Amino acid sequence: MGTEKTITLRINGCDETAEVPPHRTLLEALRGLGHVDVKCGCEKGDCGACAVLVDGEAVDSCLTLARSAEGREITTLQGLGTPEAPHPLQQSFAELGAAQCGYCTPGMIIASESLLRKNPAPSDDELRIALSGNLCRCTGYVKIFEAVQAAAAVMRQTGETI
Amino acid sequence: MYGEFDLTIPETLQEAVKVLAAAGKRAVPLAGGTNVLVDVRSQRLAPHRIVDLGRIGGLRGISVEGGRVTLGPRTTISELLASDEIARTAPALGDAARVFAGQMVRNAATVAGNIACGSPAADLVPPLLALDAEVTLTGARGSRTVALCDYYTGYKADQRAPDELITAISWPVPVKGTFGSFYKLARRKGDAITVVGVAVGLGRKEGCCAGVRIALGSVAPCPIRARKAEGVLEGEAPTAERIAEAARIAAEECSPIDDVRATGEYRRKMVEVLVARLVNSAVQAGK
Ligand SMILES: Cc1cc2nc3c(=O)[nH]c(=O)nc-3n(C[C@H](O)[C@H](O)[C@H](O)COP(=O)(O)OP(=O)(O)OC[C@H]3O[C@@H](n4cnc5c(N)ncnc54)[C@H](O)[C@@H]3O)c2cc1C
Ligand code: FES
Ligand code: FES
């Protein structure tokens, strides 16, 4: 039971292969491949630290099996921008101090990107509800909400999407 | 981290049903995984084989045809939320999708998964009960359709045979002038488990209530219809006294438990408050 199989995952635009048993989650596979920007928090869908985009939709990678993600387009935080050319969300999180320990940040940014793509001008209430699946134990959320609204304003001006 | 199991990712429904039939009770279908993988991790569930339905075509989508709305079983909560058809023909289901989990879970979680998980707190079930929804089950011996109100046989128990899959969920397009809504009482606005869920459907005929549906979640071993309460209003003028009476009877029809989220007594009281509130707003909307 549970024999390993070689699969190819398309991560941030590149194909990577991994040997995975059936019970390997996408979260475990991504971290195993060195994508440690994807964080492991609760492993039960409660904290959002493990959020990635799968075919453009934000999902908890801890609730996805690695083999099920084969052939899908996976985007992690690092796929959104680079240190030289950060995504507006990455820029404003850094500038406005929206991260303290930073553990929740990748998931927060992935979830925010997904929200802003569907709703470029969320109200504060809409933003709070959209990020309700992402827990932060440090910031108290205020700075995170400010940073997402600031990035949203920039993105509306530049018409930026990923 | 997870318990060990074998995984099949079939390309067709026939193949999926065949694998399930061969494996019997120890095989578990997987849709969004938002219940299954959590349960496997906590060892509430120890399947020998998981059958991932994710690559089977034709299991997603919302269609309105011949006076019925039909959902593919793998339609996600996010798809319900984005659908004008749902907003138009099943506003209560739209209400439930809006307060369902957080966006990451909504993107993965499916309608059939919500029905089949069997949770008394499954948020789509009260609105679907209020819509008179039917569930189509397909197994090795063919397909059958059962009314959702007959689907559950107890707490986390249902009519589905191990080789059967939910392959469609459908309901008649409500007659013009029917108002539907769902209210989720929970301890937070987002990503919380329902303490009391109430769905109401109400039409009008010559000033009287017609097609009254009241369905309740999280207050019985499975989501239920409050049929006696419906009977108090059906065919009658919606006076304040009648609405109050129906709400009181609905509270009598449920059998809530005490748990970490609320006492049974509080839940019962809230059923009364919320049924009255939702029926009143349906009546106001119909004026
Ligand atoms: C953080 C979090 C928050 C949540 N919040 C809510 C909430 O607010 N409201 C709510 O109602 N639920 C909530 N849930 C529970 C869960 O997301 C839902 O019940 C969801 O609809 C399950 O769908 P799924 O596709 O993920 O199911 P899965 O986990 O894939 O499957 C669930 C069950 O359905 C069976 N199944 C799936 N598809 C079929 C099919 N086609 N035929 C037969 N059986 C099938 C599976 O075998 C399993 O028994 C939450 C879960 C998490 C992790
Ligand atoms: S680690 Fe996936 S949601 Fe917490
Ligand atoms: S910054 Fe530490 S958890 Fe959010």
Choosing from A25, A42, A44 the residue with most ligand 1 atoms within 8 A of its CB, the one to mutate for a pocket test is A44
pTM: 0.96
**CB-count exposure of residue B54 (10 Å: 0-12, 13-18, 19+):** buried
A-B C-beta contacts closer than 8 Å: 102
Looking at residue B240, what is its pLDDT?
96
What stretches of B131-261 show up as alpha helix (H) in DSSP?
148-151, 227-233, 240-253
| Degrees, nearest 5: CA angle B80-B84-B86 | 50
Q: CA B218 to CA B185: how far, in whole Å?
A: 10
Average pLDDT, chain B: 95
Identify the three-state secondary structure at position A48.
coil
Per-residue buried b or exposed e for B62-96, using 16+ beta carbons within 10 Å of the residue's own CB: beeeeeebbbbbbbbbbbbbebeebeebbbbbbbb
Average pLDDT, chain A: 95
For residue range A28-55, list pLDDT tens digits in order: 999 999 999 999 999 999 999 999 999 9
Nearest CA in chain A to B106: A59
- Give the mean pLDDT of B1-7: 81
Give strand pairing partners of B27. Answer: B49
Is A162's pLDDT higher than 70? no
- How far apart are the CA of B267 and the centre of ligand 1, in A? 24
Per-residue buried b or exposed e for A120-158, using 16+ beta carbons within 10 Å of the residue's own CB: eebeeeebebbbbbbbbeebebebbbbbbbbbbeebeee
Determine whether the interchain pair B37/A65 forms a contact, defined as Cβ–Cβ distance below 8 Å: yes
- Give the mean pLDDT of B44-71: 96
Is B189's pLDDT higher than 80? no
- Give the mean pLDDT of A137-142: 96
**Contacts with B108 from chain A: Cβ below 8 Å:** 59-60, 63-64
Give strand pairing partners of B65. Answer: B68
Choosing from A101, A108, A131, A134 the residue with most ligand 3 atoms within 8 A of its CB, the one to mutate for a pocket test is A101
Give strand pairing partners of A7. Answer: A18
B2 or B70, which is more confident? B70
| Degrees, nearest 5: CA angle B269-B270-B274 | 130
- How far apart are the CA of A116 and the centre of ligand 1, in A? 26
- Give the mean pLDDT of A92-104: 97
- Indicate if ligand 1 lies below 6 Å from the C-beta of B165: yes
To test the contact with chain B by mutation, choose from A50, A54, A63, A128 the residue with the greatest count of B C-beta atoms within 10 A, namely A63
- How far apart are the CA of B106 and the centre of ligand 1, in A? 10
